[in-house]
Amino acid sequence: MKNMYDLLIIGAGPGGYVAAKKAAKLGMSVAIIDKGPVGGTCINRGCIPTKAMLHAATRYRDIKECELFGLHVEGAGYDLQKIIEYKEASTAEMRADLEREFEALGIVFVQGTARVQAGKRVRVEKEDGTSEFYFGRQILIATGAKANRADIPGADLPGVMTSEELLSSDESKYKSLLILGGGVIGLEIATVFRDLGAEVTIIEISNRLLPTMDGEFSDALEKILTDRGVHIYKESILEQISEADEGLKCRFVCQGETRELQVEGVLMSVGRRPNTEGLFDANVPIKLERGRIVVDEFFRTNVPGIYAVGDVVGGIQLAHVASAEGTYVVEKMNDLKPSVIVSMVPSCLFTPISIVPSCLYTDPEIASVGLTEEQAREKGVPVRCGRYAMEGNGQTIISKEAVGFIKILFAKDSDVLLGAQMMCPRATDMIGELATALANGLTSRQLMYAMRAHPTFNEAISCAVENSREA
């Protein structure tokens, strides 16, 4: 049959393209469909462009503060258009590399809007209005999620945007920006624009930034951002956005007091929703809950032969989780033992805990894995907590980086690692060591066996582990 494949994947983001490469390497014929370019939101409108902008903005702040190192730069400035070109070049390079891999592995990429029909048939509508049909012995849906907009008056005005719209725009110069939402995306973009000199205001509905993270880290990051000039309003609600003579007028309530603020742009950073609109024909009985695809523990939908992974099924919405789930599904299809896991049950617990690293690319970076001290307390798990303040770390002293700290949790009785949180340079790279240790049930004694080079940021892990053994 024409256009018949062993695996038909809808969505070319991290969940889809990682699954496609794995399947092709295992000998499956694979086609992957996406209405946009390869890479999905992550490469084109999310992770990669955000981190490119962060890198450029942080380097600019480094230049402005270089007198700390005895250096002097006159007339420091930036060209926003060249920063945008650098961002676009970074995404283009990743896309090109992925396209080369697809070609080498024989993966067919189809650009168009997919709609799943009965009999594992998928109708793909092309940009020119023509349609083509594809068939899969197995179908994997990895269509991800799209950014929400808050349902408030004025949310559709020009200058009000989601992160995807902001990051795909070539008009990103704002002298003042209001960010609705103090989560990961909002804080990373706040860092970019503040480092580039904009007045940045964050409005967060809860009583702290990063509500799901260890409170000690939230408080520390809030202080750093405030010291850098970011205005933060917690326990606040944005009520209305209206047009003003220059920009937008925003009315919000902060702890019972009504306030107004005029800005050039408003970023809606209030979560994401599964991307399933128009994905299925009416006669395809896929079970949905509030827009997300319902799957079992093997990522099977209620329709035999159709699987779903990543943000479209809910759960932890991170690119590396989608990739791990896509790999897992393909390995199960080929009767292989899964090579990746996202949770485990430590020997001292009766419930699973996540071993998914969570990263925030602010300055300093924040990364965590496993349980926080608050979560352990809620579960009634006795822990020993090791701490180390980075102010004594040699690399921190040399680099004059913002001072952070590391916390590592071990079960009080069994000494098994249960979680780690860190706020320091290179935290997003360093967390991998502790995720590996957590996945393998290592103890503090076993973590101390390995030497860590000096001077490095990473040697602070040894100090935190040693501190836990003194507790």
Please state, in angstroms and rounded to a whole number, the distance separating the CA atoms of residues 220 and 139: 45
**CA-to-CA separations, 112 to 1, 274, 277, 413, in angstroms, rounded:** 21, 19, 15, 56
Mean confidence (pLDDT) of the chain: 94
Using pLDDT thresholds of 50, 70 and 90, give the confidence band for residue 211: confident
What pLDDT is stored for residue 121 in this prediction? Answer: 94
Q: Are 274 and 311 in contact (CB under 8 A)?
A: yes
What are the residue ranges spanned by the domains of the chain? 4-146+273-333, 160-270, 353-470
Q: Which residue has the tokens 């070609």?
A: 103
Cβ distance 371 to 409 under 8 Å?
yes
Least confident of 249-258, 343-352, 378-387: 343-352
Q: Give tens-digit pLDDT for 249-306.
A: 999 999 889 999 999 999 999 989 999 999 999 999 999 999 999 999 999 999 999 9
Average pLDDT on 101-118 reads 97
Is the pLDDT higher at 348 or at 375?
A: 375
User: Do 4-146+273-333 and 353-470 agree at the fold level?
Assistant: no
**pLDDT, average across residues 25-48:** 95
pLDDT at 401: 84
Query: Residues of the chain with pLDDT > 90: what percent?
Result: 86
Q: What is the pLDDT of residues 144-196, one digit of tens each?
A: 999 999 999 999 999 999 998 888 776 667 899 999 999 999 999 999 999 99
**pLDDT grade, residue 403 (50/70/90)?**
confident
- Does the structure show a pLDDT above 70 at 471? no
pLDDT band at residue 38, thresholds of 50, 70 and 90? very high
353-470 has which CATH code? Answer: 3.30.390.30
At 355 the three-state DSSP class reads: coil
* CATH class as words, domain 160-270: alpha beta
The CATH code of domain 4-146+273-333 reads 3.50.50.60
Mean pLDDT of 401-420: 93
DSSP letters for 326-338: HHHHHHHHTTPPP
pLDDT at position 171: 66
Residues written for the chain: 471
Residue 367 tokens read as: 């990364």
Q: Catalytic: 454?
A: yes
Query: How far apart (Å, rounded) are the C-alpha atoms in residues 457 and 460?
Result: 6
